Amino acid sequence: MGNENQNKEKIELSDQEFLEAVKTAGLDKNFKSYLQKEGDRRLTEGLKTYQKNQETKNFSDSEKIINLENELKELKGTMTKKDIETQIKLELKAQNLSEGLIKYIRVDDLSKIAESVTDLKNDLLKIEQDKIDLALKGDAPPVKGLPGNSGDSTLETYVENKNAGKIAGNPFAGKLEK
């Protein structure tokens, strides 16, 4: 590999020689197209800059100050919003909550982030606790079976089926003889 780097030498061509090399390689149409696109892009960029400079040149000092203040407000607003999002994510992580919950936190003040995240966590825990309480509360207690039976026949049937290997998921195929 070292020999390849040594064999490659820099070729210095004049503009005319370069154009001839491009033509020889059959790339003259592609090269001209590229040059046109690049020239157009630079010209458009330059015109936009010129127009912006002309607009600001015609402003008085007070108008320039107002424009700069507006740009500064936008920049501060963007930075503050990003700072708030970062702090919310950190607080969610600190309280073992998913960062996806950020969409439920609406705060404009950094000092209220912890309080808002704690409130969200408490609300989520309350919802989960209500689900658990509802599941534990359930409906009326189940019926114990037919009078006089006390569920004994159901138990016997289950045991017989279990021993005979008729219960799903039973790995043993037992046999019960009567």
Each residue's pLDDT tens digit, 131-173:
888 877 765 555 555 555 555 666 677 777 766 666 655 555 5
pLDDT of residue 43: 94
Radius of gyration of the chain (CA): 39
Lowest model confidence (mean pLDDT) among 39-43, 69-73, 74-78: 74-78
The pLDDT-based confidence of 11 (bands split at 50, 70, 90) is confident
pTM for the model stands at 0.38
For residue 1, pLDDT beyond 50: no
What is the phi-psi region of residue 139: left when phi exceeds 0, alpha when psi lies from -120 to 50, beta otherwise? beta
Q: Give 89 or 158, the one with higher predicted confidence.
A: 89
Q: Which residues, in sequence order, are CB contacts of 143 under 8 Å at separation 6+?
A: none
**Mean of the pLDDT values across residues 60-82?**
82
For residue 177, pLDDT beyond 60: no
Count Cβ atoms within 10 A of the Cβ of residue 105 and give its class: 0-12 exposed, 13-18 middle, 19 or more buried: buried
Distance of alpha carbon 153 from alpha carbon 29, whole angstroms: 94
Torsion of CA 97, 98, 102, 106, to 10 degrees: -20
Distance of alpha carbon 153 from alpha carbon 160, whole angstroms: 10
Number of H helices, E strands in the chain: 6, 0
pLDDT of residue 37: 93
What is the DSSP-derived secondary structure letter of residue 150? T
- List the structure tokens of 4: 């390849």
